[in-house]
Amino acid sequence: DARVTQTPRHKVTEMGQEVTMRCQPILGHNTVFWYRQTMMQGLELLAYFRNRAPLDDSGMPKDRFSAEMPDATLATLKIQPSEPRDSAVYFCASGLNFGSYGYTFGSGTRLTVV
């Protein structure tokens, strides 16, 4: 089964530290998303890429978050500096365009900032 791989699965860090989360999308998928799951907001879209180009990152706090796709097999989400309110589960998903197709999610990175 093809799967989206996210690393690390868990990350505990101190406030002010840099955090990098990585995602390996399914080979051949041209759209990659980053979501954050919180209790209050459910699944929030942070950013997405089509064919490695960023299409929308309006959901991200720009001063501290950045998302990139250095190549088709790797997407990264970086937080610098991290804050306790960033504690959440971060999901990466990949798929083919929009529409009726289901997108495949990774298992998530659980981030705790203390």
Partner 1 sequence: DQQVKQNSPSLSVQEGRISILNCDYTNSMFDYFLWYKKYPAEGPTFLISISSIKDKNEDGRFTVFLNKSAKHLSLHIVPSQPGDSAVYFCAASTGNQFYFGTGTSLTVIP
Q: In terms of residues, how long is the chain?
A: 114
Binding of residue 40 to partner 1 (CB under 8 A): yes
Is the CA virtual torsion 33, 38, 42, 44 positive or negative?
negative
**Distance of closest approach, residue 113 Cβ to partner 1, in angstroms:** 19
**Residue keyed to tokens 């659980």:** 110
Phi, psi of 103, deg, nearest 5: -95, 145
Binding of residue 22 to partner 1 (CB under 8 A): no
Binding of residue 28 to partner 1 (CB under 8 A): no
**Residue keyed to tokens 């088709």:** 72
68 vs 103 by CB, closer to partner 1 = 103
Question: Could you list the residues that contact partner 1 (CB under 8 A)?
Answer: 4, 33, 35, 40-45, 48, 55-56, 91, 93, 98-108
